Amino acid sequence: MNQSLTQFAAASPHINIKADVLFHLGTIPVTNSMLLGLIGYALVIWALFSTARAAKTGRGNVVTKLVMMIYEMLLGTVEQVLGDKTLARRIAPLSISLFFIIIVNYWLGILPFVGPVTVGGVPLFRGLVADMNVTFAMAIISMVVVQIYAIKTHGFFGNLGRYFRNPITDPAGAFEGILELIAEISRLLALSLRLFGNVFAGEVLIIMVGFMTQYLAGIALLPFMIFELFIGSIQAYVFFMLTTVFIGLGMVSHGEHSDDTHADKQVVSTA
Amino acid sequence: MPTALTYVANTSAENSGLFESLGIDWKLLVLQSIAFLLLLWLLSKFVYPVLNKMIDTREAELEAGQKAAKEAQDEAARAEEKIKSLMRDAQKEASDIVMTAKTEATNMIAASEEKAKSSAERIVAEAQESIAKDVLAAKKALHNETIDLVALATEKVVGKTINAKVDKTLIKEALN
């Protein structure tokens, strides 16, 4: 690891806000984030399927026990936030999958071979969640699910009524509706940009510390990497929590909304 | 470092669109969405139901365990109450028995005392009667002896004996 870090430090810093395209499959570009993402997805599938097998057989190892413990904790949180066990069981797969995908790919992006290993001057690997396409896709899916559950609860027109009201009969409500619409869009952007920003900033931090410390990078980078592990878990939890909270907020009736928005702000400010 | 910053700046300048400068490509966006949804479907179909079932089973077992523990606790409390009640009854019974025994003993002692007393009184009465008889007999014997002695003394004083019959008559008169 030390040698790899030293090599990493000796190389000139390659900072790109976009994922680099390695090659094309037909018209579809294959990026370095997709390459590491494949490993990340495989790891998530392996860990969760192993946990499911361990749950069936009753024989597990440290990894499966840890995954099970995290799963239980997250499921409990979803149940607590939504306050309905049946609904929580329907929502939890999305939130928990997001958590596992984000945390695994965030941590993979910190590994020393991500960045220094290059092909034609382009890094072969890049953290999956350091790709705006991924964080944006995740945020879009989350917000679509928020809308689906809001429509299920309020009905199609009832849900539209949250955003569009008659300005003549209810001018304050109409203004509030516009604000609500803006809030929905800002939530979508905040979800994706917050995660991307944190991952990208973390990567830039590690690259710059490695570049500046050169041959001492092996020692200098370790605390930053440990810190990034911590940040990764926090960001995964924040994304998970916000998705759950937004779904919950989408389902509350208009009267209850103001109190919960405060809770939402608290979560966001904590993040 | 300046090279990197220049590169970033150039990239932003080259790509006029915000989405493009952030690297957002609709093809990749759709692809990543499909990949995530596929993973979500896979996990929702094969992993989460198993994990949920295990959690439910464990919760049910825990609830059953807690229920059994509560029942056992209640049963223990009931048994303890029963034991206490039995102990109270036993103590009361023992107390009654002791009380009865004491009363009986007191009665027996009283009866014995009464019996002993009457027996003693009887013995005393008998003894008194016997003594009285003895005294009477002794008195009689003494009387007779006195008569004889007096007669003898009188004979010696008088020097002659009138006769026994006269003596006796005289003595009796003298004594009376």
User: A-B interface: how many C-beta pairs under 8 angstroms?
Assistant: 108
Give the model's pLDDT for residue A121. 79
* Other beta carbons less than 10 A from residue B82's beta carbon: 10
Residues in chain B with CB shorter than 8 Å from the CB of A104 are: none
Q: Where are the domains of chain A?
A: 2-270
Probe site for chain B from A18, A20, A95, A194 (most B CB atoms < 10 A): A18
Between A36 and B5, name the one with better pLDDT. Answer: A36
Residues in chain A with CB shorter than 8 Å from the CB of B17 are: none
Q: Of the candidates A49, A19, A118, A33, which has an alpha carbon nearest to the alpha carbon of residue B51?
A: A49
pLDDT in tens, A234-262: 999 999 999 999 999 888 865 554 444 44
Domain count, chain B: 1
Domain encompassing residue B14: 4-175
Q: State CA A184 to chain mean position distance.
A: 17
Contact B29 A48 (CB under 8 A): no
Smallest CA–CA distance from A17 into chain B, residue: B22
Contact B8 A41 (CB under 8 A): no
B48 touches chain A (CB under 8 A): yes
Q: How is residue A131 annotated by DSSP?
A: S
A14 touches chain B (CB under 8 A): yes
pLDDT in tens, A185-236: 999 999 989 999 998 888 888 888 888 887 887 888 889 989 999 999 999 9
For A43, the enclosing helix (H) or strand (E) is helix A32-57
Contact B23 A208 (CB under 8 A): no
Q: Is A255 exposed, middle or buried (0-12, 13-18, 19+ CB in 10 A)?
A: exposed
pLDDT in tens, B10-32: 554 455 577 777 778 888 889 99
Give the model's pLDDT for residue B1. 41
The ipTM value here is: 0.85
Smallest CA–CA distance from A99 into chain B, residue: B40
A119 touches chain B (CB under 8 A): no
pLDDT in tens, A130-185: 888 999 999 999 999 999 999 998 898 888 888 888 888 888 888 888 998 998 89
Q: State CA A5 to chain mean position distance.
A: 27
Structure tokens at A31: 């990026």
Residues in chain A with CB shorter than 8 Å from the CB of B28 are: 19, 28-29, 31, 34, 131, 133
Write the Ramachandran bin of A155: left for phi over 0, alpha for psi from -120 to 50, otherwise beta: left
Enumerate the β-bridge partners of residue A123: A118
pTM of the model: 0.70
User: What is chain A's alpha carbon radius of gyration, rounded to the nearest angstrom?
Assistant: 21
